[in-house]
């Protein structure tokens, strides 16, 4: 963990922090005419990261899907790069939670990572040498360059997760939006991931992620939003992550040696979240 | 000795036409079937297969080309499936299942007005690959080219859709548009394939070769290539067996295709078990 501490502290790069990438004012989110969380207000600037923390079904994924434009907002204002959501395909990289399992797709790892370049090239434009270099660099960042030509389904769940994260990195987007990005990663994978996010922030990209990890990932972020069907708290991690706020967010918190142990009160994924895309199409 | 493998085709023009049609249809089904499997659209593919029956029945009754009737029915099915998927509060499987059973029975009801009821019905349900005309083959060639063009042009959105429709949407590819293009591609495939093996069995041609390909390939192109090879082999062996033993051609072809799938399935499993055991020994 010492290395991780070092990485977190290394976020002292001089990123120009000025332009507002993401702004929500009294935003209500939900699906199928049912509001999940009301009155969300926050600002995310260039080079900043925000972590959404909460139990399953607390509204984290719903907020991410609203930001990328898959779900419509249900009230209030939301602007992404100064525009309504869904207008910035080239600038946003998104990794959802419920994609097809890598165990069924007849693809090589490198093919899946290369898909991260598609938003920049659309239907027609050919991928060039530069794209190949970026794809390989992303795989190297996640420590999977030797697996490039391996069949995706021959990889373990953790290795597949590294492939998905390499895909996000390969986009070289201005805004990275990730839902539970560290699912299934081992300690080495988590460290590579935290380093990669740190590099992305230093490059001037912004990050918004939903996570259960209140120790490392949250510490890397400039802001933390605690969600429990409402915004429990939002602000810098050291101010927001109080035992009281965490108790309200998660239900049960046990303080141990230099660590907070969170026991979640609710388990199992909400199937409604999985159906998000279809829900938007409801009349 | 080799006569039994070649003579049926050198001696009979209709067998050559059948093999030619079968080859074209195998290529079309390899491309469409690959995406049917990747996107998990097997049930919708099956529904479109059965749903084309009423149009073909009307074509027989009023004397126009079956492919036109099948195309109209297929478009109706796509519309119905799209509507159901968007509006249904039930699982869409239920409503799509009822739609296809409804279309199937409507087709049978229409055919029952025909003077040669059972003969017509058998031809529609089980195909008439030995009665394929040159015009049919030209239509199949055109359709196969269109299907290949769609797969090439839409390769990126189709791949993203197979991985995660939400990611496709965020990447700027309209899920609604490209999903419907994919359904359209499947429908064309069904429409030009039903003559070879019939509406009841066309689903097998769509799924079995591509399924066997999925077990072997680690790239989409390779999966399509395997599927086309397995499809063409099924056509050849199926036609040969039906010729020598006087069996129903369409059903023989599908039986071979499904057998190939299970042979590949079993070989793959045995191989994995063996390599799995070896791993255990190494790690143990």
CA Rg value for chain A: 18
- When CB atoms are compared, the residue of B153, B164, B220 closest to A100 is B164
Mean per-residue pLDDT over chain A, rounded: 83
Q: Where are the alpha helices (DSSP H) in B39-164?
A: 42-51, 53-62, 66-87, 92-111, 117-126, 134-153, 155-163
B167 closest CB neighbour out of A94, A105, A283: A94
* pLDDT higher than threshold 50 for residue A283: no
The stretch B236-246 carries a mean pLDDT of 95
User: Under a CB-based contact definition with an 8 Å cutoff, are residues A163 and A112 in contact?
Assistant: yes
ipTM of the predicted assembly exceeds 0.95? no
Instruction: Please tell me what DSSP assigns to residue A152.
Output: G
Chains A and B form CB pairs within 8 A to the count of 88
Question: How far away is chain A from the Cα of B190, in angstroms, using its nearest Cα?
Answer: 24
Is B20:B195 a contact under the CB 8 Å cutoff?
no
**Domains detected in chain A:** 20-96+173-281 (3.40.50.300)
Q: What percent of chain B is predicted at pLDDT more than 70?
A: 95
Mean pLDDT (whole number) for B223-233: 97
- A282 contacts on B by Cβ (under 8 Å): 86
Establish if B42 touches chain A: CB-CB under 8 angstroms: no
pLDDT tens per residue, range A227-245:
988 899 999 988 888 888 8
| Average pLDDT estimate for B119-142 | 89
Integer Cα distance of B184 and B240 in angstroms:
33
Tokens of A185: 């990663």
Q: What is the mean pLDDT of chain B?
A: 90
Read off the pLDDT band of A16 (50, 70, 90).
Answer: low
Residue-level pLDDT at A131: 96
- In whole angstroms, give the CA distance from residue B17 to residue B14: 5
- pLDDT value at A266 more than 50: no
From B156, B178, B34, select the one nearest A116 (Cα to Cα): B156
**pLDDT confidence tier of residue B241, bands split at 50, 70 and 90:** very high
Cross-chain residue pair A123–B172, CB shorter than 8 Å: no
Residue A177, pLDDT score = 96
Q: How far is CA A6 from CA A1, A181, A239, in A?
A: 9, 21, 21
Q: Choose among A100, A119, A123: nearest Cβ to B163.
A: A100
Are residues B156 and A123, on separate chains, in Cβ contact within 8 Å?
yes
Considering only residues A143 and A102, tell me which one the structure prediction assigns the higher pLDDT. A143
Q: What is the DSSP string of A194-230?
A: HHHHHHHHHHT-EEEEEES-TTHHHHHSSEEEEESSS
Please state the rounded mean pLDDT for residues A164-192: 94
- Does residue B272 surpass a pLDDT of 60? yes
A123 contacts B153? CB cut-off 8 A: yes
- Please give the residue of chain B at the shortest CA–CA distance from A101: B163
Could you tell me which chain A residue has the CA closest to the CA of B159? Answer: A115
Among the partner-chain residues B156, B163, B171, the one whose CB lies closest to the CB of A89 is B171
| Radius of gyration (C-alpha) of chain B in whole angstroms | 20
Q: What is the mean pLDDT of residues A159-180?
A: 96
CA–CA gap between residue A116 and residue A99 (Å, rounded): 14
- Point out the least confidently predicted range of A229-233, A262-266, B251-255: A262-266
Q: What is the β-pairing status of strands A251-255 and A260-264?
A: antiparallel
Lowest mean pLDDT among A14-23, A96-105, A109-118, A119-128: A14-23
- What percent of chain B is modeled with pLDDT above 90? 65
- Among A47-51, A234-238, A265-269, B258-262, the range of highest mean pLDDT: B258-262
The confidence score (pLDDT) of residue A8 equals 43
Look at residue B280 in the predicted model and tell me its pLDDT: 43
* pLDDT 10s digits, B120-129: 888 888 888 9
Q: Which residue of B has its CA nearest to A119?
A: B171
pLDDT surpassing 90 at residue B36:
yes
| Cα B32 to Cα A122, A270, B69, B145, distances in angstroms | 22, 33, 21, 12
Give the residue with greater pLDDT, A251 vs B137: B137
| Longest alpha-carbon distance in chain A | 56
pLDDT for the residue A267: 37
Question: pTM to 2 decimals?
Answer: 0.87
């Amino acid at each position: 963990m010492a290395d991780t501490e070092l990485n977190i502290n290394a976020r002292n790069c001089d990123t120009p922090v000025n332009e507002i990438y993401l702004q929500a004012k009294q935003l209500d989110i939900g699906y199928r005419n049912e509001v999940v969380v009301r009155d969300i207000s926050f600002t995310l600037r260039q080079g900043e990261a925000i972590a959404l923390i909460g139990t399953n079904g607390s509204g984290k994924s719903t907020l991410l899907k609203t930001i990328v434009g898959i779900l419509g907002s249900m009230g209030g204002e939301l602007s992404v790069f100064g525009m309504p959501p869904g207008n910035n395909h080239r600038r946003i990289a998104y990794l959802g939670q419920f994609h097809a399992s890598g165990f069924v797709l007849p693809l090589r790892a490198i093919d899946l990572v290369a898909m991260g370049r598609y938003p920049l090239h659309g239907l027609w434009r050919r991928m060039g040498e530069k794209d190949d270099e970026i794809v390989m660099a992303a795989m190297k960042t996640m420590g999977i360059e030797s697996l490039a030509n391996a069949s995706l389904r021959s990889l373990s769940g953790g290795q597949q997760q590294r492939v998905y994260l390499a895909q996000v990195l390969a986009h070289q987007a201005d805004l990275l939006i990730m839902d539970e990005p560290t699912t299934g990663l081992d300690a080495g994978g988590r460290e590579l991931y935290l380093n990669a996010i740190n590099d992305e922030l230093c490059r001037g990209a912004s990050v918004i992620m939903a996570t259960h990890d209140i120790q490392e990932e949250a510490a890397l972020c400039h802001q933390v939003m605690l969600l429990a069907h409402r915004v429990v708290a939002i602000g810098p991690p050291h101010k927001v992550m109080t035992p009281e706020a965490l108790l309200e967010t998660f239900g049960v918190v046990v303080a141990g040696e230099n660590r907070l142990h969170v026991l979640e009160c609710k388990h199992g994924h909400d199937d409604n979240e999985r159906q998000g895309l279809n829900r938007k199409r409801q009349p | 000795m080799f006569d039994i493998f070649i003579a049926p085709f050198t001696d009979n023009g209709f067998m050559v036409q059948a093999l030619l049609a079968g080859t074209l249809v195998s290529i079309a089904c390899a491309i469409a079937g690959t995406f049917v499997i990747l996107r998990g659209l097997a049930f919708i593919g099956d529904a479109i297969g059965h749903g084309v029956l009423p149009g073909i029945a009307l074509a027989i009754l009023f004397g126009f080309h079956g492919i036109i009737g099948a195309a109209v029915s297929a478009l109706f099915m796509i519309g119905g499936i799209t509507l159901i998927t968007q509006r249904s509060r039930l699982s869409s499987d239920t409503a799509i299942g009822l739609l296809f059973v409804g279309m199937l029975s409507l087709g049978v009801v229409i055919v029952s007005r025909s003077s040669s009821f059972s003969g017509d019905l058998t031809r529609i349900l089980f195909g008439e690959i030995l009665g394929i005309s040159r015009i049919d083959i030209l239509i199949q060639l055109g359709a196969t080219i269109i299907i290949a063009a769609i797969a090439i042009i839409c390769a990126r959105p189709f791949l993203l859709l197979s991985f995660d429709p939400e990611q496709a949407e965020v990447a700027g590819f309209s899920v609604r548009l490209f999903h419907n293009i994919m359904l359209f591609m499947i429908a064309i495939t069904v429409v030009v394939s039903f003559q070879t093996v019939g509406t009841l069995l066309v689903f097998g041609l769509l799924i079995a070769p591509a399924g066997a390909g999925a077990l072997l390939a680690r790239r989409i192109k390779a999966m399509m290539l395997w599927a086309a090879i397995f499809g063409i082999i099924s056509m050849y062996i199926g036609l040969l067996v039906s010729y020598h033993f006087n069996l129903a051609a369409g059903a023989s072809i599908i039986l071979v295709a499904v057998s190939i799938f299970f042979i590949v399935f079993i070989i793959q499993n045995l191989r994995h078990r063996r390599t799995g055991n070896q791993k255990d020994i190494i790690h143990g």
